[in-house]
Amino acid sequence: MSGATVRAPFQIGAPRTGRAMTTVDDLVVRAPVATVFRVVAAVEQWPAHLSHYRRVTMRERASDGGGIVEMSAYRPFGPVGWPTWWLSEMAVDPVRHTVRFRHIGGITTGMDVEWSFHPVAGGTQARLVHTWDGPRWPLIGALAAVAVIGPVFIHGIASRTLAGLARVAEGEPPRAA
C-alpha cells in the first residue's frame, strides 16, 4: 500500500450495551500498558504470532494506525479448524489505550469490539469485549449469536488471540514512551 492515501481515523464508540450477545475476555499481562497496547494495535503482525490467524490485511489506512482491516482466522476444533472471515473499521486511541473495531463485512457485520488496557499490580489488565445482535437471520439470528457464534466462535478465537498476544507482550522488552 505504499503511496496510498491515508484517511482520517474512524470514530468508533465503546461497544453498545444491551445487545443480544456480549463476550468478555480478560487477562492480566505481565507487561506495561504501552507494550501490550503496541502489540495489539499492530494487527498486521498477528498471523506471525498467532497460529490460528490465517491473514490480516489493511485494505485502507487511517492516520491513527487503524483503517479498514480484513481478518481471517481458524476456530480450532481439535486437529481441524473452521475458517472464519470478517472486515472491520479499526480505530486506535493511544491516549485512552483502546483499539476498537466495527465489523462491516462477513457474518459478524454490525459487531462492536473493544480492546482496552489498564495498569494493575504486576502489569496490565487487558480486556476484549464483543457486542452484537447477531446475524440478520429472521427469528434465529440473536439465538444463533447467543447460543453458538458468541460462545463457540467469538470467545474461542478471542481467548486464543488475547492469550497469544499476551505471550508476545510479556516477551518484549519495555520501550521508552
**Total of domains in the chain:** 1
Q: Is residue 14 part of a domain?
A: no
Burial of 139 (0-12, 13-18, 19+ CB in 10 A): exposed
Q: Which stretches of the chain are DSSP H helices?
A: 33-41, 46-49, 141-144, 155-171
Which cell goes with 38? 503496541
Length of the chain: 177
Q: What number of other Cβ atoms are within 10 A of residue 9's Cβ? A: 17
Instruction: Identify residue 89 by its one-letter amino acid code.
Output: E
Q: Would you state the pLDDT for residue 81?
A: 82
Say which residue the cell 488471540 belongs to: 161
Q: Is residue 28 within 8 Å of residue 122, measured between CB atoms?
A: yes
Q: Is residue 156 part of a domain?
A: yes
Q: Would you state the pLDDT for residue 79?
A: 79
* Residue 126 belongs to domain with CATH number: 3.30.530.20
Distance CA 90, CA 78 (A): 31
Q: Is residue 121 part of a domain?
A: yes
* Rounded mean pLDDT, 65-70: 98
In degrees and rounded to multiples of 5, residue 57 shows phi and psi of -130, 125
Q: Is residue 9 part of a domain?
A: no
Q: What number of other Cβ atoms are within 10 A of residue 60's Cβ? A: 16
Q: Is residue 19 part of a domain?
A: no
Distances, alpha carbon 93 to alpha carbons 3, 37, 53, 131, 137, in Å = 24, 10, 24, 19, 33
Q: Would you state the pLDDT for residue 139?
A: 87
Q: Would you state the pLDDT for residue 176?
A: 43
Distance of CA 92 to the CA centre of its chain: 11
Q: Is residue 7 part of a domain?
A: no
- Which residue(s) pair with 24 in the sheet? 129
Q: Is residue 158 part of a domain?
A: yes
* Rounded mean pLDDT, 138-142: 90
Dump pLDDT digits (tens) for 26-60: 999 999 999 999 999 999 999 999 999 999 999 99
Q: Is residue 66 part of a domain?
A: yes
In order, the DSSP letters of 122-134 are: TEEEEEEEEEE--
% pLDDT > 90, the chain: 86
Domain that holds residue 88: 34-170
